[in-house]
């Protein structure tokens, strides 16, 4: 989770200034005689789309290379090159949109219409038509990325720490004050981002409004083959299905933290302090498993320790994840993946360590960029990132317009679907453990999984809830931080451990906010992955309980998965969904089925406790 997917060349049209196609250009009342314009035809549309596709591939390669270099060598020069490449792509986007708009009233085939609409709608940060504003928006994006990537904190003891250093401490320390210092320290980086974010939001909103949308949030919600308002309602419906399970988990975890740190620090009738959950953003809680683990539920192994025992270095970890996909029948990764990816943090320069998967040429040049830490959590993250890469390669034969996932949640879900198969059975198969624990240990394993998966779901929802309100104007700059914590309390039952200044910019401490990356995809992925896993387990002929199923080595499951992946975005996501699950509607009951034994256990443990927040 929490990975920035580097998209194909068309998908990074996200920053294109497509507003020109919707602007009212009738700025004078003077009548001007113009020559008759020959009516456009479907043949003209075909010519336009063919030529544009070639240019998209060429431009995409240029900007992807510029972004790759910038992310791996953060300097003023690479920032300028990145901004210039983005601006060039942005300006091309204006031209593509203007041309595509000319075919709005032309009778074309369904395939042509989908491609034309994709040109106008594949957006994330649309710039206004003004070239100066387009350049400014591109520069802001590079500046914000650089500020996050270079972010560091010098401790009270005088030691300079990177985000990676601090997140490692957050994961392992049980010292209340040390955790608080790390939590506050990282949030000293983001306030300087606030004025840049404000301006970025203003420019992107202007671009979205030029396209005919009320605001940028409305535009983001319009990219799911359904009306924007319906999409928002769909997320609420899915959250409503999962919320009772989350509430049970929250109640239990708060009680255990109260015992660990004292109820004076963790009151049992208030939200949980955000720095005690093992994660810099309290978005996943798996790192505090040792604090909240059920009695006698230890499966007898620790993946991090097993990786060390079996001499897994960073490359071997990636090779292990690749092996999962090849066991399903997918081809091995190309040699260029191994020579061009970044696997470890360089000691001699600043890089963006945020894990990401890249497709540079819309064909075969796929890579990952990670500062890998040799932990069980990172082993799962690598599976996730390779899920992006195998998806990218599966749809490489689609026209560039369709070289993307059916919806952005699909891309995030695929790797995590594979990770759900990283069960004790799988770990034994690959030699990391010697024996498979019996079902009496399932509660512990499900608890560990829920601390990551279920704990994340409300966070996955609220990040964009906050931004949608920012873009609509409901949340104003002076209320950014207050509104952020109101949403975190409402959905997560989490609160800041100390009073926060209203001028702080805590949302900026999360990469995807200054990075301008929509976040609803991660919420969707946490619903979709369980549906995909359930469907693939059924296809593989699994007879184990769903939470014990691994599709490792199932060519049948691999074939079914690849059939969906190869579709890319060539059809509405509902059609791709149906290929694998048999239904066109998402359903969170697969999540409840997976965690059913744990929820029963949680309800028993929570009897007599004061739950809620």
Active site amino acids: 354-355, 384-385, 388, 412, 512, 522
**Phi, psi angles (nearest 5°) of residue 583:** -135, 150
Q: How confident is the model at residue 505 (pLDDT cuts 50, 70, 90)?
A: very high
Q: Is 549 exposed, middle or buried (0-12, 13-18, 19+ CB in 10 A)?
A: buried
- Given a cut of 90, whether residue 459 has pLDDT beyond it is yes
**Count of other CB atoms within 10 angstroms of residue 251:** 20
Mean pLDDT of 371-382: 90
Q: How far apart are CA 473 and CA 15, in angstroms?
A: 21
Q: How far apart are CA 504 and CA 123, in angstroms?
A: 29
pLDDT tens digits, one per residue of 73-91: 999 999 999 989 988 887 7
Mean pLDDT of 566-589: 95
Number of residues that this document lists for the chain: 613
What is the pLDDT, as a whole number, of residue 302? 87
- Given a cut of 80, whether residue 19 has pLDDT beyond it is no
What is the pLDDT, as a whole number, of residue 11? 45
Q: How confident is the model at residue 522 (pLDDT cuts 50, 70, 90)?
A: very high
The tokens describing 587, both together, are: 């359903």
Mean pLDDT of 570-586: 95
Q: How far apart are CA 576 and CA 569, in angstroms?
A: 8
The residues facing 494 across adjacent strands are: 272
Higher pLDDT, 213 or 526: 526
Q: How confident is the model at residue 557 (pLDDT cuts 50, 70, 90)?
A: very high
**Count of other CB atoms within 10 angstroms of residue 485:** 19
What is the pLDDT, as a whole number, of residue 2? 37
pTM score of the predicted model: 0.83
The per-residue DSSP string of 482-514 comes to HHHHHHHHHHH-EE-SS---TT--GGGGSTTTT
For residues 515 and 400, the answer to whether their CB atoms sit within 8 Å is no
What is the pLDDT, as a whole number, of residue 502? 82
Phi/psi-derived region of residue 493, left when phi > 0, alpha when psi is between -120 and 50, beta in every other case: left
Q: How confident is the model at residue 222 (pLDDT cuts 50, 70, 90)?
A: confident
- Residue 536: name the closest of 418, 380, 375 by CA: 418
- Given a cut of 60, whether residue 12 has pLDDT beyond it is no
The tokens describing 568, both together, are: 């890319």
Distance of CA 229 to the CA centre of its chain: 22
Mean pLDDT of 332-347: 96
Q: How far apart are CA 475 and CA 205, in angstroms?
A: 14
What is the pLDDT, as a whole number, of residue 153? 96
- Given a cut of 70, whether residue 449 has pLDDT beyond it is yes
- Given a cut of 50, whether residue 532 has pLDDT beyond it is yes
Collapsing DSSP states into helix, strand and coil, what is residue 283? Answer: coil
What is the pLDDT, as a whole number, of residue 560? 96
Q: Considering only 11-20, 414-423, 538-547, 573-582, which range has the smallest mean pLDDT? A: 11-20
Q: Beta strands 494-495 and 272-273: pairing type? A: parallel
CA torsion sign, 564 to 568 to 570 to 573?
positive
Q: How confident is the model at residue 183 (pLDDT cuts 50, 70, 90)?
A: very high
Using only the alpha carbons of the chain, give its radius of gyration: 24
30-62 burial, b at 16+ Cβ within 10 Å, e below that, comes to eeeeeeeeeebeeebbeebbeebbeebbebbbe
- Given a cut of 90, whether residue 575 has pLDDT beyond it is yes
The tokens describing 161, both together, are: 């720490």
What is the pLDDT, as a whole number, of residue 23? 30
What is the pLDDT, as a whole number, of residue 422? 87
Top-confidence range, 14-23, 121-130, 198-207, 347-356: 198-207
The residues facing 456 across adjacent strands are: none
- Given a cut of 70, whether residue 29 has pLDDT beyond it is no
- Given a cut of 80, whether residue 33 has pLDDT beyond it is no
Q: How confident is the model at residue 377 (pLDDT cuts 50, 70, 90)?
A: confident
Q: How confident is the model at residue 5 (pLDDT cuts 50, 70, 90)?
A: very low
* Mean of the per-residue pLDDT values of the chain: 90
Domain ranges of the chain: 1-23+40-144, 300-436+528-582
What is the pLDDT, as a whole number, of residue 28? 34
The tokens describing 205, both together, are: 């909103």
Top-confidence range, 35-39, 99-103, 445-449, 595-599: 595-599
What is the pLDDT, as a whole number, of residue 321? 94
Which percentage of the chain shows pLDDT scores above 70?
A: 93
Q: Is 208 exposed, middle or buried (0-12, 13-18, 19+ CB in 10 A)?
A: buried
For residues 203 and 127, the answer to whether their CB atoms sit within 8 Å is yes
What is the pLDDT, as a whole number, of residue 143? 94
Q: How confident is the model at residue 92 (pLDDT cuts 50, 70, 90)?
A: confident
- Given a cut of 90, whether residue 35 has pLDDT beyond it is no
What is the pLDDT, as a whole number, of residue 124? 83
> Residues near 246 by Cβ (< 8 Å), separated by ≥ 6?
454, 455, 457, 458
For residues 386 and 357, the answer to whether their CB atoms sit within 8 Å is yes
Q: Considering only 24-38, 207-221, 478-492, which range has the smallest mean pLDDT? A: 24-38
Which percentage of the chain shows pLDDT scores above 90?
A: 76
- Where do we find the tokens 């015992």? 259
- Residue 70: name the closest of 60, 61, 80, 56 by CA: 80
pLDDT tens digits, one per residue of 394-448: 999 999 999 999 998 998 898 889 889 989 999 999 999 999 988 888 999 899 9
What is the pLDDT, as a whole number, of residue 13? 40
Q: How far apart are CA 111 and CA 242, in angstroms?
A: 37
For residues 478 and 502, the answer to whether their CB atoms sit within 8 Å is yes
Q: How far apart are CA 9 and CA 61, in angstroms?
A: 7
- Given a cut of 50, whether residue 62 has pLDDT beyond it is yes
pLDDT tens digits, one per residue of 381-405: 898 899 999 999 999 999 999 999 9
Please report, for residues 36, 253, 533, the alpha-carbon distance to residue 455 in angstroms, rounded to integers and kept in the order given.
62, 10, 19
Q: How confident is the model at residue 520 (pLDDT cuts 50, 70, 90)?
A: very high
Q: Which helix (H) or strand (E) holds 429?
A: helix 424-429
The per-residue DSSP string of 540-581 comes to HT--S-GGG---TT-HHHHHHHHHHHTTTTSS-HHHHHHHHH
- Given a cut of 90, whether residue 34 has pLDDT beyond it is no
> Residues near 6 by Cβ (< 8 Å), separated by ≥ 6?
12, 64, 67, 68, 356, 357, 358, 359, 360
């Amino acid at each position: 989770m929490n990975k920035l997917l580097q998209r194909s060349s068309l998908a990074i049209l996200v920053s294109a200034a497509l507003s020109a196609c919707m602007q009212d250009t009738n700025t004078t009342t003077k009548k001007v005689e113009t020559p008759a314009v020959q009516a456009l035809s479907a043949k003209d549309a075909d010519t336009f789309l063919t030529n544009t596709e070639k240019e998209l591939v060429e431009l995409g390669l240029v900007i992807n290379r510029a972004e790759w270099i910038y992310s791996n060598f953060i300097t003023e020069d690479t920032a300028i090159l990145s901004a210039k490449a983005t601006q060039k792509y942005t300006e091309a986007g204006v031209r593509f949109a203007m041309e595509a708009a000319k075919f709005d009233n032309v009778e074309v085939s369904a395939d042509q219409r989908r491609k034309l609409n994709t040109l106008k709608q594949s957006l994330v940060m649309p710039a206004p038509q003004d070239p100066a504003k387009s350049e400014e928006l591109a520069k802001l994006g590079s500046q914000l990325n650089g500020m996050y990537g270079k972010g560091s904190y010098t401790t009270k003891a005088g030691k300079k720490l990177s985000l990676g250093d601090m997140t490692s401490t957050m994961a392992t320390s049980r010292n209340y004050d040390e955790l608080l210092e790390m939590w506050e320290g990282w949030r000293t980086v983001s306030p300087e981002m606030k004025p840049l974010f404000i301006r970025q939001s203003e420019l992107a909103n202007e671009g979205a409004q030029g396209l005919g949308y009320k605001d940028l949030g409305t535009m983001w919600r319009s990219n799911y083959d359904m009306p924007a308002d319906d999409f928002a309602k769909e997320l609420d419906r899915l959250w409503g299905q999962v919320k009772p399970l989350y509430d049970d988990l929250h109640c239990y975890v708060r009680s255990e933290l109260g015992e660990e740190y004292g109820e004076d620090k963790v009151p049992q009738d208030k939200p949980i302090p955000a720095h005690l959950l093992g994660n810099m953003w309290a978005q996943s809680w798996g790192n505090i498993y040792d604090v909240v683990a059920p009695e006698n539920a230890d499966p007898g192994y620790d993946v991090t320790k097993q990786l060390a025992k079996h001499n897994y270095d960073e490359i071997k970890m990636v090779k292990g994840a690749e092996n999962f996909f090849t066991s399903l029948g997918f081809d091995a990764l190309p040699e260029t993946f191994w020579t061009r990816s970044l696997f470890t943090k360089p000691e001699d320069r600043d890089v963006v360590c945020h894990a990401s998967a890249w497709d540079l040429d819309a064909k075969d040049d796929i890579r990952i960029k990670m500062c890998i830490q040799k932990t069980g959590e990172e082993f799962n993250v690598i599976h996730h990132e390779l899920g992006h890469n195998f998806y990218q390669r599966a749809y490489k034969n689609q026209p560039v317009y369709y070289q993307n996932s059916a919806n952005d949640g699909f891309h995030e879900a695929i790797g995590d679907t594979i990770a759900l198969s990283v069960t004790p059975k799988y770990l034994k198969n690959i030699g990391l453990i010697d024996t498979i624990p019996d079902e009496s240990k399932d509660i512990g394993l499900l608890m560990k999984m829920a601390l990551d998966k279920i704990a994340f779901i409300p966070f996955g929802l609220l990040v964009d809830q906050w931004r949608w309100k920012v873009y609509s104007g409901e949340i104003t700059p002076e209320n950014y931080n207050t509104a952020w914590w109101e949403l975190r309390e409402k959905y997560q039952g989490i609160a800041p451990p100390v009073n926060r200044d209203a001028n702080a910019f805590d949302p900026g401490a999360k990469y995807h906010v200054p990075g301008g990356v929509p976040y609803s995809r991660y919420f969707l992925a946490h619903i979709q992955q369980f549906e995909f896993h359930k469907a693939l387990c059924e296809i593989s002929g699994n007879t184990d309980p769903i939470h014990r199923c691994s599709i490792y080595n199932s060519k049948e499951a691999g074939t079914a998965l690849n059939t969906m992946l190869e579709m890319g975005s060539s059809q509405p996501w509902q059609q791709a969904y149906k290929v694998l699950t048999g239904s066109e509607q998402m359903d969170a009951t697969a999540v409840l089925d997976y965690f059913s034994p744990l929820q029963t256990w949680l309800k028993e443990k929570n009897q007599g406790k004061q739950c809620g927040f």
